[in-house]
Amino acid sequence: MFEGFALERREGAGAQLHVRYGGSGPAVLLLHGHPRTHATWHRVAPRLVAAGHTVVCPDLRGYGRSSKPPTDTEHRPYAKRAMAEDCVAVMRGLGHRRFAVVGHDRGAYVASRLALDHPEAVSALTVLDAVPIGEALRRCDAKFAASWWHWFFLGQTDKRAERIINADPDAWYRATPAHMGAEAYADYQRAIHDPATVHAMCEDYRAGLGVDRDHDDADQRAGRRIGCPLQVVWATLDDLPDLYGDVPAVWRDWAGDRLEGRPIESGHHIAEEAPEALVRAVLAFWRTTAGQGTRTERPTGPLDH
């Protein structure tokens, strides 16, 4: 898994991230979802390296083997803004001023926040199986609550989810090595059986129901948009089309001049289930944006944080 990649602990902007990186050429940052780790990308990252890219895959703060900062009553240490700042710090530490970002699930929220808060850093953005948090909560109805009830279970604080999950993590988080690959599954197992990681993942959802929504709503009121080209990808076997119909339309008010939507025949974990189709999609997207001044860049030397 990840043959030829380096594995290091790198400084973020308030957390230390467990980071896998390798390759050469234009840089791309891959951000996993819940409850996965960076290892979810093990079938995608080598293909992108073979296509001539540098690939960086961190465990988000709180997830996997990245550090888990103490939280506060507003859950701000687990806001997507804080996670995005970690990513910028790591990428700069590795010498990347400007780069493409691909984010899945919770990682998609970090990716979109990164593009909104740090437009100078992100050349192209791909979000997988997600709409903005503010949009999801604004459009929440009984159908959403029934399908995505885990948002509210993990996000509430009066009766904390951690006790239930930690009693039997394998009953709550269900995956198989046949589905994920043996090494990725082992990394995932290590994470879900760590109570500190389970707590941090719940904090991610608590931030989502509060401070993250506040940030999204503030951006919408101010008319802020994602300035780089935006690609929205959804799994045909997941429920985003059932919930939202025209998925790219949900992103239209958030996008600049370039918005592309693309379904992929897959279940929710696209990077594990349909890696070849995903790589083809993002490479085609980057090719079409390269002539518009959005090509990723890799400087010759490291930068100061």
Neighbour count for residue 22 (Cβ, 10 Å): 19
At 264, is the secondary structure helix, strand, or coil?
strand
Q: Give CA–CA dist 38/60, Å, rounded.
A: 8
Q: Which residues have CB under 8 Å from 182's CB, separation 6+?
A: none
From 59, 86, 105, 204, the catalytic residue: 105
Q: State which amino acid sits at residue 260.
A: E
Q: Is residue 268 among the annotated active site residues?
A: yes
Judge contact between 113 and 40, C-beta under 8 A.
Answer: no
Task: Read off the DSSP letter of residue 60.
Answer: P
Look up residue 107 and give its two tokens.
């990682």
What does each C-alpha distance from 109 to 85, 100, 124, 171 come to in angstroms?
13, 15, 15, 26
Task: Read off the DSSP letter of residue 119.
Answer: T
Q: Is residue 242 among the annotated active site residues?
A: no
Q: How far is CA 113 from the centre of its chain?
A: 10
> Which secondary-structure segment (H or E) carries 7?
strand 6-11
The closest of 150, 99, 168, 101 to 128, measured between CA atoms, is: 101
Q: Give CA–CA dist 58/17, Å, rounded.
A: 6
From 194, 214, 217, 268, the catalytic residue: 268
**Active-site residue set:** 105, 268
